[in-house]
Amino acid sequence: MLWLEQKWRSQLPTQSGGSKRTNVSATGAYSSSSNSETPLADEPDVDSPVRPQRSKKSKQKGKGKAQRSKDFRERKSLVVKKLSLMEDIKNVREKELMDREKEREEEKEHRAKIMPIKEKELQIQAAMKEQELQVQRYIKEMEIKAKEREMERMAKEREREMDMQILNADTSTMSEKRRALHEIACEKIIAK
């Protein structure tokens, strides 16, 4: 026998073996090794072609392809999810940037509106300070004038008192010369 045939036959279950199912017919139907009615491929009177049972390596290879395909689909799904998430993050960042830019523009507009108002406010404050200074100067001037008037009034009052003293002076004890001067002073006081 050939080496391949021996290997193939060694993989076939024996009749006395367990209940392992094998593919033994040309149509691909399975049969149980415990079924004695179905002829096995190693029996001499069987002339139907039997598909050989696959080896462990080829089974693992097939399973590996299926597993790789499954892994590929999972990785592809993960990549799609990551790309979607990255797109969402990108959209959120773009929206944030647009919102910040909009806020900056609104701030500029707000400043542009406020600047004339602040300038006007500063002008009003400067005018109010100037007016306040003018009022303070006026008050000081009025105080000075009031003091001057008060001093003038007091001077006049003192002058009247002196005039009254001159007018009410006792002339009986005065000398002739002094009496003549007194009369001239009285005439001047009365003429006022």
pLDDT in tens, 114-173: 899 899 999 999 999 999 999 999 999 999 999 999 999 999 999 999 999 988 888 888
User: Does the residue 116 lie in any domain?
Assistant: yes
| Amino acid (one-letter) located at 12 | L
User: Does the residue 149 lie in any domain?
Assistant: yes
**Total tally of structural domains belonging to the chain:** 1
Nearest-angstrom CA–CA distance, 157 and 167: 15
Question: If you search the block for the tokens 């399975």, which residue do you land on?
Answer: 30
DSSP state of 91: H
User: Does the residue 114 lie in any domain?
Assistant: yes
With contact defined as beta carbons under 8 Å apart, do 169 and 186 qualify?
no
User: Does the residue 18 lie in any domain?
Assistant: no
Q: What is the mean pLDDT of residues 171-176?
A: 88
Axis crossing angle, helix 56-167 with helix 176-191, rounded to the nearest 10? 130
Give the global pTM: 0.35
**Residue 129 domain boundaries:** 71-191
Q: What is the CA radius of gyration of the chain?
A: 66
